């Protein structure tokens, strides 16, 4: 038994109806959806065929059908590629443009604001990361005296971004100290990959700086090792979803580990990627994570994602997520024109 166009339309309709009502879909309701173009008997036969294919499930003997994890997987992999499913309404575009117009352009604040705005707009949890690049490194350091006992260590990345960390100097810091530390860091730590920052290199820098100024070295070391940050917003929406909240503790545990969280939401390509909870370790049934990469210019990229029930309204969510990725990339790179 194979899938044909009619079975695809029926599966798509059941996903849409179930996402709205949350109740098993019967043949009568499905017939109304198709304006009686298909009889209830024909629909029952097709639903039985889809069940045999593993794409639908029947919770109870007398109940209608619901999409199975395999059904959602098929739907996401095949049916949302149609142009009509990825169109963004003019109203959505205008609303999202207004949201981004008020956001701070500093990368960390921008990523967090975008995640919060997306979560509130969709009514699910959302994640956004700061930009990254495979060969990103520190191109220049500045050390600025910001008080008698504090130094701000500023690092300019090879893509032009700026990272900052404050070091406390308990014995006091002079402007001459700051200038000397900047020279030391620029001669030893620029264009050093995180994996090449060895304990012996750090020890030699501490020896050159002196124990008194070692906090500046440790601050610079932390900046070299900095990984893209991620921001999870809208968890309260997951707590209101009965089919998801049982997995909320496991999900938050994953997100307590920066690397594990990034691996979970990282899209497999430049296209929208959907990960079902059954595919996650540990498994989180009824959960779905939809991710999209954004481009920030200069070889930098990041991720924006939505986390919610697998009953999400994908035909609305995916074009919104696509446009959020476009706007976030534009804002991160300082561009105003729309990316293609």
Write out pLDDT tens, residues 213-226: 999 999 999 999 88
**What pLDDT digit, counting tens, does each position of 33-44 carry?**
887 778 888 888
Q: Distance between CA 154 and CA 131 in Å, rounded?
A: 18
The hierarchical CATH code for the domain 138-225 is: 3.30.390
pLDDT of 339 over the 80 cut? no
CA distances from 156 to 96, 118, 142, 186, 223 (A): 31, 29, 8, 11, 10
- Four-way CATH pick for 90-132+228-333: 3.30.450.40, 3.40.50.2300, 3.30.70.141, 3.40.718.10: 3.30.450.40
Report pLDDT for 340: 40
pLDDT of 147 over the 60 cut? yes
DSSP annotation of 228 reads P
Reported as a pLDDT band with limits 50, 70 and 90, residue 81 is low
Report pLDDT for 88: 87
Dmax over CA atoms of the chain, in Å, equals: 86
- 284 close to 241: Cβ distance less than 8 angstroms: no
* Pairing label, strands 138-147, 300-309: unpaired
pLDDT of 321 over the 50 cut? yes
Q: Which two tokens stand for residue 233?
A: 């917003």
Assess whether the previous peptide bond of 216 is cis (omega < 30° from 0).
no
Average pLDDT over the chain reads 88
Report pLDDT for 333: 84
The hierarchical CATH code for the domain 5-81 is: 1.10.10.10
Report pLDDT for 116: 97
Q: Where in the chain does DSSP place strands (E)?
A: 56-57, 66-67, 125-129, 138-147, 150-157, 162-168, 230-233, 273-276, 287-297, 300-309
Strand partners, 142: 154
- 248 close to 286: Cβ distance less than 8 angstroms: no
CA distances from 78 to 1, 3, 216, 265 (A): 18, 11, 53, 21
Report pLDDT for 84: 47
More confident residue, 187 or 29: 187
Per-domain residue ranges for the chain?
5-81, 90-132+228-333, 138-225
Three-class DSSP category at 206: helix
Three-class DSSP category at 138: strand
Report pLDDT for 338: 47
Report pLDDT for 271: 80
Distance of CA 315 to the CA centre of its chain: 18
Which H/E stretch holds residue 333? helix 314-333
- 65 close to 18: Cβ distance less than 8 angstroms: no
Reported as a pLDDT band with limits 50, 70 and 90, residue 62 is low
């Amino acid at each position: 038994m194979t899938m044909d166009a009619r079975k695809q339309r029926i599966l798509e309709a059941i996903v849409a109806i179930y996402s709205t009502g949350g109740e098993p879909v019967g043949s009568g309701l499905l017939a109304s959806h198709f304006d009686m173009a298909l009889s209830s008997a024909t629909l029952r036969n097709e639903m039985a065929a889809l069940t045999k294919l593993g794409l639908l499930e029947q919770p109870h003997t007398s109940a209608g059908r619901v999409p199975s994890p395999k059904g959602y997987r098929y739907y996401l992999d095949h049916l949302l590629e149609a142009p009509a499913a990825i169109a963004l309404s003019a109203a959505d575009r205008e609303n999202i443009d207004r949201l981004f117009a008020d956001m701070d352009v500093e990368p960390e604040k921008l990523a967090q604001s975008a995640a919060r705005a997306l979560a509130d707009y969709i009514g699910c949890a959302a994640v956004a990361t700061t930009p990254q690049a495979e060969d990103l490194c520190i191109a220049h350091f500045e050390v600025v005296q910001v008080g008698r006992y504090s130094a701000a260590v500023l690092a300019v990345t090879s893509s032009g971004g700026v990272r900052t960390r404050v070091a406390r100097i308990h014995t006091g810091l002079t402007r001459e100290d700051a200038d000397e530390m900047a020279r030391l860091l620029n001669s030893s730590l620029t264009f050093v990959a995180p994996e090449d920052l060895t304990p012996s290199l750090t020890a030699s820098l501490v020896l050159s700086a002196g124990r008194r100024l070692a906090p500046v070295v440790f601050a610079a070391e932390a900046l070299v090792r900095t990984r893209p940050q991620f921001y999870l917003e809208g968890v309260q929406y997951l707590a209101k979803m009965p089919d998801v909240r049982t997995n909320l503790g496991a999900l938050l545990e994953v997100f307590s580990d920066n690397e594990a969280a990034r691996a979970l939401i990282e899209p497999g390509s430049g296209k929208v990627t959907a990960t079902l909870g059954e595919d996650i370790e540990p498994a989180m049934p009824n959960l779905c994570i939809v991710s999209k990469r954004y481009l920030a210019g200069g070889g930098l990229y990041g991720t924006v994602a939505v986390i919610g029930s697998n009953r999400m309204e994908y035909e609305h969510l995916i074009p919104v997520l696509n446009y959020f990725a476009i706007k976030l990339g534009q804002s991160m790179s300082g561009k105003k024109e729309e990316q293609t």
